[in-house]
Structure formats: C-alpha cells, structure tokens
Structure 1
Amino acid sequence: MECDGRDACAEFKLGEGETAVFALDQAGSAIAPRGCAHAEAEHEFNATVAYWRRWLQQSRYRGRWREMVHRSALTLKLLTYAPTGAIVAAPTTSLPEQFGGERNWDYRYVWVRDAAFAVYALLRLGFSGEAEAFMRFLTTHISPGDGAASGPLQIMYGIDGRTDLPERELPHLEGHQGSAPVRVGNAAADQLQLDIYGALIDSVYLFDKWAQPISSAQWDDVTQLVEWVCEHWDQPDEGVWETRGGRKNFLYSRLMCWVAVERAIRLANRRGLPAELLRWRQTRDAIYRRIMDRGWSERRHAFVQHEDGDVLDASVLMMPLAKFIAPTDPKWLSTLDALTEELVSDSLVYRYDPRVSPDGLRGDEGTFSICSFWYVEALVRAGRVDEARLAFEKMLTYANHLGLYAEEIGRTGEQQGNFPQAFTHLSLISAAFNLDRALG
C-alpha cells in the first residue's frame, strides 16, 4: 500500500478462483493495512449479510417490485445514524445538480421534512423500530419545550442534534467533474420553511396510528407546534425547494400548514386528547379557503406555485396525496393536465422552470425524482393506473446497477445531485405501495 498525503492506494491482481482480503484500520492520524485472516473476513461478511436479511424480514410488503422497494428501505435504514435515530437527507455533499454549475449543497444533515417523510415510508412497510428511534430524536432535539414555541423550528439539524450548521466553501477542491464550489454546512438551516410542520405532525399522527400511542409529553409538544402554526401560517417563506430568491407565499407551504392542523385535529379526536379544537378548525378552514381562492389560477386552470401567480410547480402534486383535495376533483384533474403538459418529460418531472420562476441561482437542473414518483401516485389516485404503471416502470430504469438514485435525473439519464437520496427512495416506496394496491 502507498500513502500520499490523504490518499491511500493498493493494487493486487487476482486470478480465477483466488480470493484476497484487504482491510484498513485508522489509528490516531495514521491509516495502515492490517492482517485479516480469510476465516475472520468470511465470518464478518456472513454476519453482515445475516443482519440485513433479518432486518428485511420485518417488512410487510408482499407486492410487485419488491426488490426495488426493499432496496429503498435498506437505503433509508443506512441513512439512519443509529446512536440518535437521526435520518440524513443524503450521505454526500456538493454532488452537482448541474455538472459544472453552482447548485451544489451539503445534504449530510437531518432535514425535518425529509426524515418525517422517511418515517412514513418505513412505517408503511412495517419498520416501526426506526420510526420509534426518530421519534426519540424529535423529543430530545426538536422539542418545542426547548424554546421553539416562541419561534419557528429550525428546518435541519446535525445527526447529534446540533443546530449550528454554518455554510462555507472549500476552494482547494475542484468538485465533481469540475463543479465548484464544494460546500460544507448549509445556510438553508436559517430559512423559514413552514411546510416542515405538516410533515412533522403527519409523521407523529401516523406513528400514533400504526406503531404506538404517543405520550402525553409528546402531545404537549404537538399542541405547541400547532398553536405556532395557527399564529404564523400566512407568512411568506423560502418554501420546500429552499429557494434563495426571496420569500413568497408558496402554495405548498400553505398546504402543509393545513396538514399540520388537520392531522392534529384527527389525533385529538381519535385519542380524546385536550386541544383548542374550535381555534384549530377555524385555522384549518381559513387555510383551505386561502389556497382555493389565491392558489388557483383561472388563466392556467391550475393550482400554482405561489399565491396570485401563474407559475406551475410540481410540489402541488402533494395536494391529493395529503388528502387536501379529491384526486378526481375537476380543478385537480385540470392541474394534473397542466403539469403533464409543462413539467413532465417522458414521465420524468421537473419541479419548476427556473426561467419563469427565478430561484436566486444560475443554471438549470435535471428532473426531480421525488416529483416523478409523486406524479405516479397522483395518476394512480386519479384512476389513470395504466399511465401510472408506465411512468413508474420507466423511473425504475433510471436507477443505477445497485437500484440507487440521486436527487435528480439529467437530460441524458445520468444521476445528478447528492447520492443516494432519501427523498427519492421514500417516494419510490410510497408510489410502489399505492400503485400495487390499485392494480390488485
């Protein structure tokens, strides 16, 4: 083995039937090879395989595309930091959304939204242990009792619960295929993103429904979050896509505030828990009317990206998925047609068009894979099952040889953005589950 600064390299050739074991240990600051007997290596390998097979046996999924669904579940598990239950968005930083461009971000953190959606996907398959671990992370690090009730929750945290995530550039690194800058930390941690409340409270609601009842202390936390939403839901924010072009009244943010209040009402009613139900219902209904009045464009015959605008955005695909609107409502079907015409390219979905909706950054990006799987689900719920199956199976062809996805897919089918991406894999699970059920 040869060491050159931070790099270590070793070469050896194997003939047919030969095997070799190569192991690296880090002791202090030195990295050195160590001896490892074939028997020891075989034991470690077999123990690893047995662990993952035992873990997968917990899955209740018996439908179609099981291999891809279970591969996605394994990915979500591997994105989980075992000591705290934190689920990161991706294990990489600065893999570009456009080769040679500046859309390069550090995703090695716990986004409240991404992790909450991951909990939904894991619960759907029967992996309640991981959901329980994340609930502990929430209680320990994201509890309103820590002062969050007087201000907005931070949108992301370190895997150990830290909140200070300053963004800086590493100019001595050229980046993947010359895509600079390489960033460490993420300035989006300081953004206001109101949608996280809906994702978070929905995950608590589903955990209570599918895993185990939440505690009285957890309910106290939920009520504080809902009260904050009731006071602040109508503020402009940076939105789900973390745009750096200024705050707007994004429809998706309103939608998920509605989800936050609506799920809390459901949970209170089902469990008989104390709540300001009259105030909550009034807020829920006010958000609904605001979306229907100002999120709808008569000119486009579609729900749009932000209030009183005409720009389309794939995030509105969540409207029927979140049960805000019936999936066969004429307004929704018209929206689905508009999205298909403008943002869908051969079943792959762009999240928005940066040319008509400036986001404060230069360059373009690929299709956004979570939106492509949301599109599949929206088609399923609208009764267009054959279209949904075709779109889903096309998406499966874009995975790499290990069944893994990055955040985006480029114009020529290449993976773009950080990899592997929790967002993509959790939405694959949800789309597969609902499409399989629709197919019977």
Structure 2
Amino acid sequence: MRPLLLALVSLPAFAQVVPARSFYDLPSSNGHGALMVDGRTGKLVHFREHLPATEEFELDAMGNEVWVGNQPQIIHTRDLLFDAYFGLRVGAQQRWLDATQIVSSGYAPGSGVITTTQNALGLSLTTSIFSPRTFPHASYVAILCARNDGAAALNDVSVFHLENLHLGTGRPGVRQELDSENETIVITNGDVFERGFAGVVGTRALGASTVTAWHPGSSANENAYLVVRDTTNAITPRAGDLGVANDWASAFQFNLGTIAAGSEACAGVVSAHHADPFAQSEVTAWLDAWVAGRSARAVLDAELAHWAAFQASLTLPPNLTPEEQSVTRQGAATMAMAQVQSGEAFLREWRTRDGELRSTRFETLDGGALPNTVRHRGKGAVLASLPPGEWTYSWVRDGAYAVVALAELGLVTEAREGLRFFLDAEGGRFKDWTEFQPQGFPPYVLSLTRYVGFGVEETDFNDFGPNLEFDGFGLVLWALHELEVRTQDTSLVDARWNDIATLIADPLVALIEPSTGLLRKDSSIWETHWKGRERTWAFTNITAARGLCDAALLAERMNDPARAMKYRVAGQALRRAIGEKLTDARGALASNREELVSGGGYYDAAVFDALAMGLFAPDGRIARATLDAMDRELKVANGPGWARNDDFRDHSGATDLSPWGGHYDSAEWVITDMRGTMAMRAAGRVSRADAVLDFTRRQSARNAGVFSETYEETTGAYKFNAPMIGFGAGAWVLALAHREGRAIEPACGAYEEPAAPDAGVELPDAGVVVPDAGTTVDAGSMAPMPPPNGCGCSSAGGVFAVVALLLARRRRC
C-alpha cells in the first residue's frame, strides 16, 4: 500500500492559467439546419441548409463515384447567409446595432437560444436567436426585446431587422460564402421570399411591420441599410415581384410606439429554407402552421419552455455544484443540438449551377427522377462538433463517447438513435481496398473513419493515403453495452444482435494478428493516415479488448453462449497482449508498438482509456507507471492537464516513427483530460483528478457552457474546434458521473495485471528516454523489445476500494 499512499498525499503543484473567455462564435441547431451568431457583434453570420458539413459523394451519369487524383468529390452543404442583425430607433435617433457594444453573450440557461445584451438609446436590449426545435426544417428565429429600465416613457420606438442572404450558385463548403448572383425577391402579404439557385428562403415578421428590399443598384432611399445608418427616416415599403438582381437584401421595420417605464416590447422574424427555388407555397404553408399568429414574445417563450422540458427530462449525477450543473445542462443541450433529425432532403437535378447534372445514390420518395425529395441514412447521427467547429461530421469514435453520455443523462431515445445510425448507415465500403491487401478485410457495417451527412462511410486523404481506423468497432460494442447498463433499454441489441455480432464483433476478432496477439495496424484516434504511417496503436487495442468483453456480456444476455465464449477469450487474450507487448520496462503503456521498440517517443494520453475502460487494476503496476509517465512526460506547462502525445517534440530535426508531430499534438485535449481524470480518480489520485476536472469546468463556464476540442497549452485559450460533442461535453459528463459514483467495471469481470515486475532494465527516474535528434531510431530500424510482462488476473482489490471510497466521501464533505 505504500506506493498508493504516497500517490495520494504527494500532490504536484501546477502553474495555472486563469480560465477566461476566448470563444465567441455561438451555434444553434434543430437537427435540420444550423446557425451561428458572432458573440462579439450580435450578428447572425451563418445559416446552413443541413446540420452536417456535407451531403453525399458526387456521382457521374453511370452512378460511379467521382475522384480527382486521390480525392473523392463530395457535395457540400451550403451556408445561405452573409449576415443578419437588428437596428433600433428611439425618437429622432436610429442606428444598426452591429456596432453597439455587446454587454454579454451566451445562451439562455440550458438551451440552444443564443442571447446577446446591449444598451442603446435608453433601452436595455436582449437579442435571442435560435434554430427552433419544433420547426422541422432549416430555419431560424431572431427576436429583439427592448426594455425601458428608466423612469420615463420612451416614444417613437422602432426595431429594424436586416437580412442578407446568399442564394446563388456554387457549393464551396460551409466555411466559405455562397455566390449571390441572379437572386429574386418577392414580397407578398408581408412575407419576403428570396430565391436563387440554392433554393428559397421565406421570412415572416412576428408582428406588424413594414418590409423592403434592395440591391447594389437600388437608390439610396430604397436601401434600408443607408436609411437607418444615415437618416432618421422610415424605410420605404415595397411589395410584389421585385425581379432578378445580384445580392438582394431585405429589411423589416416594427413600429413599437411608446414603451412605458419598466415595460418591454419584442419584435422579430422567422426564416425557413427549401432547396427548391420554386417552393414558395410550401414554405408559406410551413410558416402558417408553425407561427400560427403568435407574437415574438410567445414564440420565444415557447422555445424556452421546450428547452425547460428537455432539462426536466435529464438525470444528472448527484452532488453537483451550481456551476457544474450549469455547464452540464448546457453540455446536454449542445449534444442534443448535434444530433441529426432529418432523414429526407430535396435535391435539384443540378449540382452547383444550371446544366451541371446531379445524380444521387438515394431513392426518391415517389420513385421519380430529380428534382425530388430523397430519403437518406443520416438521421440519428451525432456529429463530432457544431459550427464553427470544422468537424461537423459523424465520426464513429466521437459518436460512441457521445451516446454513452446521452445514456448517462437519461436521454434514452437519443442514445439509442445514435447507435442505430451506426447500424443503418452505409458502411463496409472499404473492405476490398488495396490498403488491406493481401490479407483482405472482413465484412463490416461501421465506417472506418466517418460519414458524409447523408449517412455513407467516408474517409479523408492526404499525401499518405486514407485514414483507416479500427477503434470504432470496440467503442461501439462498449457503447451498446453501456446503453443497457445505464438505461436498462435492451431493445436495440434485441432487434439487431445478429448484425452486431457478425458485422462488428466478428470482424474485430478477425483483425487480431496471430503473430502478435494485437490488432492489425491502423490510423487510430490521432488519424495518422497510411503508407507507412499506420501503427499498432495501444488505443485501438484498448478499445477492442473492452468492446469484446462487453460483446461477451451482450451475447450472454442474448443466450448466445458460443459467441460469448469466443468474444471473452478474444478480449482477455488481447488485453494480455497489451500488457505484454505495449508496456515499457516500468510497465507504462506506450502509444504504439513501433515507437516502443524504437526506444523512445512513445507517450500518448490516449492510453488513459486502458484504466478508464477497466482493463488494468487502478492500483497496479501498469496503472502506476502509466499515470506517472503521463504527468512526467505530457503535462502541459501552465495547467493541470496533458498534451495528447509527445510527437511535437520527440523528433526535432530527425526522421523517426512520428514525423507528423505538430501543434495538434502539443495542445491539451479535453477528451484525454477527461479520461485522465477517470484514470487518476480510480487510482486514488483524487486531488489530481479534481484539478483537471475543475479547470475544465471553469473553462466551460467562462465560455458560454461550450466545451472545446483543445486548449492552447501555454495560455489555456480555446484552440482549433468548438463546441465539441463526444470529445467535449460527452467526455465531461462521463468524468463527472464517475466522480459521483458511476463505477468502472473491470473488463471481462476482472482486471489484468502483471504478477510482478519483469526483469527488464528499469528506466531512470528522470524519465525522458527519447534519444536526441542525432540518434533517434528511424522507422527502418528496430531496437530490442523489452522483455514481456507476465500477466495474470486480479479482482478489483478490496483495500484499495475502501481507501478510495473514504477519500471520495471526505472530499464531498
């Protein structure tokens, strides 16, 4: 027990950055479309037609996928909006509000309603922008509420709203602007319909209003932007078909009259998109049914009530502080917004411009040709991030962590749908690729990387070929079992057991190499691509061992004893091989076998999951050595967390086994921080775990409840992508649940642990064993392998469990 007690009382001191606001681009989604507000200006700056970044693969006239060089051509989702924002008039003064200082920006608590506050012309202003959860189309609502906190009434109050859509040709991707040529504006019954190649957007005022539209060739008195900016005049009303022009914009003016002291008035709009430019009547019907004559205030209150009901349905871990509750509830809302709710899409017969034919792999609803509505396979997918994050795609890995977190929160339907998506999407497409020859690849159902938005397996390519990742198999098996453990819902496995066994678990067993007892090389969690950059990754093997152990439990419940035995034996053997062939002389888990045998540069925070997933005893030799190595080799300079691996610094100027190292590697990752807190807590290093968890909580609380992908390793600023879902909010939920008593069950019923230290040469206490740049072993050389660790099984360890429990109780007092 002495090493354990020392670990519990010898706590490191951390240089700490102070969490501060560094993320301002706030998204909202109803699962059909998505939008984004710039929290520094209050402007709506992004409105996309689908939640995912892509639709499907481009097909030629024969139905074959189109490739240019080594890149498959993909049809991208379109961003339909340049910007939209409010203006204000009080008495003889008026202005657009995009240049007025923002007092605060964030979300209405636990919701997808983005709120910004400002003060202007004697009024306190709150703007609420959201993608309405009960409106099942790509749509947005923008509402401004003006409150008079003064002692006297304010007269002649008007609210303006400007909308600048871009509905022209092209499909440059959601991170670039769409063209705005050849647009048409029709104003009828107070509604504005703007159409172009990219479809039609209908905008309805929530209340009595005047409406106008203009383009760059319009006169100054028709240009509402100039009227509000430069004069005190009202906008000039227009109506009817205003014709074709480039870069139309439109505006509404709501005359609110007098706002008495202590009173409030609200105005706003709702907009909806249809990909058919000639679907004005259909969009009108949508707006009629959804608005149903409601005021702006009533629409806002209904949306907030919807989110309140969602929050009431959650099951949170106990004993949370108010701030922990706040960020967890906002994280749950973010995860809900990241799940695709649409299973249909209208497709034109043209792809990016008139005359450029489009084909699709999906059947139309009526069996006819395009233009038409197709039924696709994207519904249920949980994306890796929301905009502005680049990863608005469904990854198997991220999705697995997300659905387990959804299950933990009691969101049973959402979690089950996220897993059903994996079974029903079009996977198994890469089994005959040359990268897998001559061995071949077993039939499978999952994507080996991610999916396009309509639910078809996709991977990404660079000069080193594709990413081909095998960790998804084990993670989905783990997630399927966790769904049952955390919710008692067995319906998905009951209905789909044969698919799960034959197309997920059996292929995973088939990927085990008899010569090593480990899985075949892959790109794994850090996506290193192929052509000599594939490795025998510990993370892939860790997830596989856990997944096979959980598949055995599923098989037992399904009264399938032969498969239960097969999966359990395979899982136990794989775990044993990890302990023997992926640990160094101290017992620390290495990133991959190839770097391990080279003698250095093998530290990787992804191996935390060996403990967070219950493969090895948390008080055992492997755990102690691994956790010590993570703190010694990967802890960031100015915070309690860890860089994802050592690849940024392990090869300076040299050719070695990780020549791809960069700032993604040196950054602090939320996913590995959260899995690391679970590993540290399980090992009794409670204060160490709490330091990381508390830092993450404070970061999220100061950044609108959003969880980042990474932090800049010296400043703590949000870095790369946010909001992250499985790798962000989901990982937070699982770490918090573990702190509050959700046990890590030993894989296959018992931990695997070396019986005694091996006879290998112990590494020096200084720890850094990476050779200098002049002596690094390159990829063509193999240093001697450390002697294998002898492994046996042990139970959870009663004395350790008692110590950990007492410490946990003490901490919560």
Query: Which category of TM-score, normalised to the shorter sequence, fits these structures?
Result: 0.7 to 0.9
Using the TM superposition, name which of 429-438 and 120-129 deviates more.
429-438
CA contact 2:394–2:450 (8 Å) conserved in 1 = yes
Is this contact kept in 1: 2:583–2:589, CA < 8 A? yes
Q: Distance in 2 between matches of 1:247 and 1:79?
A: 30
After the TM superposition, which residues 362-377 of structure 1 pair with which residues of structure 2 at under 5 Å, given as runs?
Answer: 362-363=662-663, 365-377=666-678
Q: Is the 8 A contact 1:385 1:435 kept in 2?
A: no
1:162 to 456, 479, 482: 456
Q: 1:362 & 1:215 partners in 2: Cα distance?
A: 41
**How many Å apart are 1:235 and its aligned residue?**
0.5
> How far, CA to CA, are the matches of 2:203 and 2:581 in structure 1?
64
Q: Which one is further off, 130-139 or 401-410?
A: 130-139
Aligned with 1:27 (options 194, 204, 229): 194
Please give the secondary structure, in 2, of the residue aligned with 1:240: coil
Match of 2:330 in 1: 71
Residue range with higher mean Cα deviation, 55-64 or 155-164: 155-164
Q: 1:320 to 1:418 in 2, by over 3 A?
A: same
Please, which moves more after superposition, 240-249 or 29-38? Answer: 29-38
- Find the partner of 1:124 among 385, 408, 411: 408
Q: What amino acid is aligned across from residue 635 of structure 2 in structure 1?
A: V
Which whole-Å CA distance do the structure 2 matches of 1:336 and 1:120 have between them?
Answer: 24
Amino acid at match of 2:82: D
Q: Which amino acid aligns with 1:227?
A: D
Rounded to whole Å, the distance in 2 between the matches of 1:331 and 1:401 is 36
TM value normalised by structure 2: 0.47
Say which of 495, 506, 510 aligns to 1:227: 506
Q: State yes or no: 1:306 paired with 2:589.
A: no
Residue identity opposite 2:299 in structure 1: E
Superposition map of 1:81-96 within 5 A: 81-83=340-342, 84-92=379-387
Q: Which amino acid aligns with 2:569?
A: Q
Cα 1:381/1:135, change in 2 over 3 Å: same
The 1:243/1:145 distance shift into structure 2, 3 A limit, reads closer
Work out whether residues 401 and 730 of structure 2, in 8 Å CA contact, stay in contact via their aligned partners in 1.
yes
The CA deviation at 1:362 is 4.8
Instruction: Identify the match of residue 569 of structure 2 among 282, 285, 288.
Output: 282
Map residues 287-436 of structure 1 onto 2, 5 A cutoff: 287-298=574-585, 301-307=587-593, 309=596, 310=600, 311-345=602-636, 346-354=639-647, 355-356=649-650, 358=658, 360=660, 362-363=662-663, 365-399=666-700, 400-410=702-712, 411-422=714-725, 423-436=727-740
Instruction: Decide which structure has greater strand share.
Output: 2
Q: 1:87 to 1:301 in 2, by over 3 A?
A: same
Amino acid at match of 2:703: H
Q: SS state of the match for residue 628, structure 2?
A: helix
Residue deviations 1:171-217, cap 9 Å, x none? Answer: xxxxxxxxxxxxxxx99994221111111111111223324213444
CA gap of 1:277–1:391, structure 2 versus 1, over 3 A, is closer
Q: Is the 8 A contact 1:59 1:126 kept in 2?
A: yes
Preserved contact between residue 385 and residue 392 of structure 2 (Cα < 8 Å): yes
What is the identity, as a one-letter code, of the residue corresponding to 1:46? Answer: D
Kept after mapping to 1: 8 A contact 2:460/2:466: no
How far does residue 158 in structure 1 lie from its aligned partner after superposition? 2.5
Structure 1 CA distance for aligned equivalents of residues 475 and 465 of structure 2: 17
Q: Secondary structure at the match of 1:55?
A: helix
Partner Cα distance (1:257, 1:370) in 2? 18
The residue type paired with residue 480 of structure 2 is: V
Q: Deviations over 1:120-176 (max 9, x none)?
A: 111111111211221332232157799895257322112321235666xxxxxxxxx
Deviation at 1:436, TM superposition (A): 3.0
| Change in CA separation of 1:301 and 1:117 when aligned onto 2, cut-off 3 Å | same
Distance 1:32 1:152, change over 3 A: closer
Task: Report SS of the residue matched to 1:28.
Answer: strand
Asked if the contact 2:428–2:457 (Cα under 8 Å) also holds between the matched residues in 1, the reply is: no
- Partners of 1:166 and 1:26 in 2: CA distance: 38
C-alpha change, 1:23 and 1:48, in structure 2 (3 Å) is farther
Which letter maps to 1:192? L
| Residue aligned with 1:375, SS | helix
Name the counterpart of 1:212. Answer: 489
Task: Deviation per CA, 1:293-347: give whole Å up to 9, x if none.
Answer: 111100x541110125041110110111111111111221121011011111221
1:266 equivalenced with 2:544 (yes/no): no
Contact 2:545/2:574 (<8 A) preserved: yes
Retained in 1: the 8 A contact 2:426–2:456? no
Is 2:328–2:733's contact at 8 Å kept on the other side of the alignment? yes
User: Which SS does the other structure have where 1:92 is aligned?
Assistant: coil
TM-score by length of 1: 0.84
Equivalent residue, structure 2, for 1:240: 525
In angstroms, what is the RMSD of aligned CA positions?
Answer: 3.1
> Aligned to 2:303, which of 48, 66, 71?
48
Contact 1:143 / 1:221 at 8 angstroms: preserved in 2? Answer: no
Q: Which amino acid aligns with 1:348?
A: G
1:89, 1:109 within 8 Å by CA — same for their partners in 2? yes
CA distance in 1, matches of 2:678, 2:733: 11
Question: d(CA) in 2 for partners of 1:286 and 1:361?
Answer: 32
CA distance in 2, matches of 1:271, 1:248: 35
Give, in whole Å, the separation in 2 of the partners of 1:52 and 1:92. 20
CA distance in 1, matches of 2:488, 2:578: 32
Structure 1: segments with no counterpart, 5+ residues: 96-105, 168-185
Q: 1:115: which partner in 2?
A: 399
- Cα separation, partners in 2 of 1:142 and 1:359, compared to 1, 3 Å: farther
CA offset at residue 223 of structure 1?
A: 0.9
Counterpart amino acid of residue 716 in structure 2:
G
1-side partners of 2:613 and 2:563: how far apart? 23
Higher helix fraction (1 or 2)? 1
> Residue 387 of structure 2 aligns to which amino acid in structure 1?
T
CA distance in 2, matches of 1:89, 1:187: 24
For structure 2, list consecutive stretches of 5 or more residues without a partner in the other structure. Answer: 1-42, 46-79, 88-95, 98-119, 125-145, 147-158, 164-191, 208-266, 268-293, 343-378, 432-440, 513-518, 651-656, 742-807
The count of residues paired between Structure 1 and Structure 2 equals: 408
Q: Max radius of gyration: which structure?
A: 2
Is the 1:188–1:242 Cα contact (8 Å) retained in structure 2? no
1:290 positional shift: 1.2
| Aligned counterparts of 1:152 and 1:216: Cα–Cα separation in 2 | 17
